Amino acid sequence: MTIAISEQVPRTVHGFDYTRVVLYGFALALVLLIVLPMSWLVYYAFSSPSGGITLSNFTRLFSESTFIDPLITTFVLATSTSVICCIVAAPMGWLVARTDMPLRRTTRLMVTASFVTPPFLGAIAWELLAAPNSGLINQAYRVLTGAPADDHLFNIYSFAGLTFVIACYTFPYVFVLVANALDRTPGDLEDASSILGGSAWDTARRVTIPLAMPAVLAGALVAFLQAMTLFGSPAILALPAGFHTMTTKIWSLFQYPPKPELAAAAALPLLILTVLLLRAEHMILGRRGYAVLGGKNSDPRIVPLGVLRWPAVLLCFGILLCPVFLPYGALFNAAFSRIASQVISINNFTFHNIYFVFFELSATKLAFYNTFVLGIATATLGTILALVISYLTTRQAVAGHRVLGFLATAPVAIPGIVLGVGLFLSYTRPPFVLYGTLWILLLAFLTLSLPAAYQQMQSAFRSIHPELEDASRILGATRLRALREITAPLLRTSVIATWCFVFVGTIRELSAAIMLFTSETKVISVLIFDLNESGDLAAISVLGIIMLIITFGIVALANRLRIGGGPVRLRNY
Amino acid sequence: MSRKVSRRDILLKASSALAATTLFAQPTRAAAPPAEAVTLALIEAAKKEGKVVYYTSIDLLLAEKIAKAFEAKYPGIAVRVERTGAERVFQRIGQEYSSKIYAVDVVNSSDAAHFIAWKRDGILQAYVPEDVAKFYPAEHKDPDGLFASFRVGMSVIGYNTSLVKAEDAPKSFADLLDPKWSGKMVKAHPGYSGNVMSATFEIVRDLGWEYLEKLAKQKIMQVQSSTDPPKKLALGERAVMVDGNEYNALQLKEDGKPVEIVYPTEGTPMAVGPNAIFKNAPNPNAARLLQSYMFTAECQQLVIDIGALRSVHPSAKEKPGRKPFREIKVMKDDPAGVEKAAEEIKARYSKTFGV
Predicted-complex ipTM score: 0.78
B97 and B191 co-located in one domain: no
Ramachandran quadrant class, A568 (left: phi over 0; alpha: psi -120 to 50; beta: rest): beta
CB-based burial of residue A293 (10 Å sphere; 0-12 exposed, 13-18 middle, 19+ buried)? middle
The domain locations on chain A are 16-46+358-573, 55-293
Predicted local distance difference test score (pLDDT) of residue B271: 92
Please check whether residue A362 touches B, CB under 8 A. yes
On whether the CB atoms of residues A222 and A572 are closer than 8 A, the answer is no
**B134 and B174 belong to one structural domain:** no
Least confident of A16-20, A213-217, A349-353, B301-305: A16-20
Nearest CA in chain B to A258: B91
- B234 in the same domain as B126: no
Residues A478 and B334: their CA atoms lie apart, in Å, by 74
Write the pLDDT tens digit of every residue in A473-513: 888 888 778 877 887 788 888 888 899 989 999 999 999 99
Could you give the 3-state DSSP secondary structure of residue A444? helix
Report which listed range, A458-462, A469-473, B256-260, is most confident.
B256-260
Q: Which helix (H) or strand (E) holds A220?
A: helix A209-229
Q: Is residue B334 part of a domain?
A: no
**B343 neighbourhood in chain A, CB within 8 Å:** 257
On chain B, the residues whose CB falls within 8 A of the CB of A252 are 191, 350
Q: Which of A262, A337, A517, A533 to mutate to test the interface with B (most CBs of B within 10 A)?
A: A533
Contact A516, A441 (CB under 8 A): yes
A150:B191 CB<8 A: no
Q: Identity (one letter) of the amino acid at A56? A: S
What integer pLDDT is reported at residue B23 of this predicted model? 58
Please determine, for residue A290, whether its predicted confidence score (pLDDT) is greater than 50.
Answer: no
**Dihedral (Cα; A528, A530, A531, A535), 10-degree rounding:** 130
Under an 8 A CB cutoff, do B55 and A519 touch? Answer: yes
Q: Are residues B292 and B203 in the same domain?
A: no
Residues B121 and B206 both lie in one domain: no
The CATH number linked to B283 is: 3.40.190.10
B260: which strand partners? B159
Q: Give A66's contacts in chain B (Cβ within 8 Å).
A: 350-351
pLDDT band for A15, please (50, 70, 90 cuts): low
- Residue B170 belongs to domain spanning: 154-269+340-353
Indicate the number of domains in chain B. 2
Which residues of B are less than 8 Å from A520 in CB distance? 101, 103
Same domain, B83 and B158: no
**Cα(A187)–Cα(A195) distance, integer angstroms:** 12
pLDDT at A405 over 90: no
Per cent of chain A over pLDDT 70 is 92
The C-alpha atoms of residue A517 and residue A521 are separated, in whole angstroms, by: 5
Q: Does domain A16-46+358-573 have CATH number 3.30.360.10?
A: no
- B28 inside domain: no
Q: Tell whether B64 is within 8 A of chain A (Cβ).
A: yes
Task: Determine the number of helices (DSSP H) and then strands (DSSP E) in chain B.
Answer: 12, 12
Any B CB within 8 A of A433 CB: yes
Q: Enumerate the residues of chain A whose CB falls inside 8 A of the CB of residue B222.
A: 239-242
> CA B277, CA B290: separation in Å to the nearest integer?
9
Q: Does B253 touch chain A (CB under 8 A)?
A: no
Nearest chain A Cα distance for residue B228, angstroms: 5
Q: How many angstroms separate the CA of residue A341 from the nearest CA in chain B?
A: 6
Q: Which residues does chain B have within 8 Å of residue A238's beta carbon, measured at their own beta carbons?
A: 355
Residues 533-572 of A with CB under 8 A from B: 533-536
- B175 shares contact with chain A (CB less than 8 Å): no
The length of chain A in residues reads 573
- Establish if A254 touches chain B: CB-CB under 8 angstroms: yes
Q: Does residue B30 lie within any of the structural domains?
A: no
Question: Which residue stretches of chain B have pLDDT < 50?
Answer: 1-21, 27-28
Q: Do B296 and B228 share a structural domain? A: no
d(CA A253, CA A259): 5
Give the number of other CB atoms < 10 A from CB of residue B31: 9
Which residues of chain A lie closer than 8 angstroms to B109, CB-CB? none
Question: Are residues B345 and B228 located together in one domain of the fold?
Answer: yes
In this complex, the residue of B80, B101, B343 whose CB is nearest that of residue A518 is: B101
Same domain for B99 and B210, yes or no, is: no
Residue A438 has pLDDT above 50, yes or no: yes
Topology (CATH) of A55-293: MetI-like fold (1.10.3720)
Question: Of A438, A383, A405, nearest to A558 (Cα)?
Answer: A383
pLDDT, residue A565, reads 41
The CA distance from B271 to A159, in Å, is 35
The alpha carbon of residue B322 is apart from the nearest alpha carbon of chain A, in Å, by 24
Q: Does residue A239 sit at the B interface (CB-CB below 8 Å)?
A: yes
| Domain assignment present for B33 | no
Compute how many other C-beta atoms are within 10 angstroms of the C-beta atom of residue A478: 17
Cβ separation of B91 and A240 shorter than 8 Å?
no
Do B66 and B106 have their domain in common?
yes
Is B329 domain-assigned?
no
Q: Which of B203, B199, B226, B220 is nearest to B86 (CA)?
A: B226
Contact of B187 with chain A, judged by CB distance below 8 Å, is answered with no
Domain assignment present for residue B86? The answer is yes
Shared domain for B66 and B108, answered yes or no, is: yes
Cα Rg for chain A, rounded, in angstroms? 25
Q: Tens of pLDDT along A135-174?
A: 999 999 989 998 887 788 999 999 999 999 999 999 999 9
- pLDDT bucket at A569, cuts 50 / 70 / 90: very low
Nearest to A572 by CA among A206, A81, A178: A81
On whether any CB of chain A is under 8 Å from the CB of B80, the answer is: yes
User: Touching check for A257 and chain B: CB below 8 Å?
Assistant: yes
- The residue of chain B with its CA nearest to that of A530 is B84
Cβ within 8 Å, pair B60-A534: yes
Burial of B324 (0-12, 13-18, 19+ CB in 10 A): exposed
Query: Is the four-CA dihedral B350, B353, B354, B355 of positive or negative sign?
Result: negative
Length of chain B: 355
Contact B335, B7 (CB under 8 A): no
Asked if residue A467 has pLDDT above 60, the reply is: yes
- Closest residue in chain A to residue B182, using alpha carbons only: A150
Q: What is the per-residue DSSP string for A303-337?
A: BP-GGGHHHHHHHHHHHHIIIIIHHHHHHHHHHTB
Confidence at residue A220, expressed as pLDDT on a 0 to 100 scale: 92
* Residue B225 vs residues A46, A260, B61, B89, B246: alpha-carbon distances, Å: 34, 24, 14, 12, 13
Instruction: Sort out which chain B residues have CB atoms less than 8 A from A360's CB and list them.
Output: 61, 64-65, 68
Of B60, B163, B353, which has the smallest distance from its Cβ to A536's Cβ?
A: B60
What's the confidence (pLDDT) of residue A237?
A: 95
Rounded to 10°, the helix A401-409/A363-394 angle is 150
Q: Are B224 and A340 a contacting pair at CB < 8 A?
A: no
pLDDT the model gives residue A394: 81
pLDDT of residue A468: 82
Q: What angle do CA B319, B189, A524 make, to 5 degrees?
A: 85
pLDDT for the residue numbered B5: 40
- Domain presence at residue B16: no
B interface test, pick of A245, A439, A534 with most B CB neighbours within 10 Å: A534
Would you say residue B18 lies in a domain?
no
pLDDT digits (tens, 9 = 90+) for A23-79: 788 888 888 888 889 999 999 999 988 878 889 999 988 888 889 999 999 999 999
Test mutation, A256, A370, A423, A543, chain B, max B CBs within 10 A? A256
Listed residue (A225, A161, A239, A166) closest to A416, CA to CA: A225
| DSSP label of B32 | P
Note whether A168 and A160 are within 8 A (CB). Answer: no
CA distance A449 to A505: 7
| Chain A residues within 8 A of B245 when measuring between CB atoms | none
Contacts of B223 in chain A (CB under 8 A): 239-240, 533, 535
Rounded Cα distance between A330 and A537, Å, is 11
Assess whether pLDDT exceeds 50 at residue A294: no
Q: Does A54 touch chain B (CB under 8 A)?
A: no
**pLDDT (mean) for A389-404:** 78
Q: Compute the nearest-CA separation of B348 from chain A (Å).
A: 11
Q: B246 and B347 share a domain?
A: yes
